[in-house]
Amino acid sequence: MTAEPESTADPAPVSREFDVDGATWVAEVTGQGAVGGTLGFVAIESVYFRRRGESDPQIRLAYLPRGSFTILGDDELRAVQRSAPPLAPRPAPDSGTAR
């Protein structure tokens, strides 16, 4: 018998600031879910990383086991941020000209 995934309702955002190489970064839990299959499910949360104060920030994304974000120390959070891949930049707004 496999366990059913936990509720995926998003709680209030959880965020914190930390420094990386002299820049202040913001890490924010942006969602929760479950992944798995026939062998069971694992609850996860998505975390976005961005530099504080940037108008169009380069966002990085990491997936962590649910509940681990709140117990990570700053050194561990920096390690996750450094290993998180950047999301693709937003496309430029359409100028309205078709080709």
Q: What is the 3-state secondary structure (H, E, C) of the chain?
A: CCCCCCCCCCCCCEEEEEEECCEEEEEEEEEEEEEEECCEEEEEEEEEEEECCCCCCCCEEEEEECCCHHHCCHHHHHHHHHHCCECCCCCCCCCCCCC
Q: pLDDT-based confidence at 89, cuts 50/70/90?
A: confident
- pLDDT the model gives residue 62: 96
Can you give the residue ranges of every domain in the chain?
Answer: 14-83
> Taking residues 23-31, what's their average pLDDT?
93
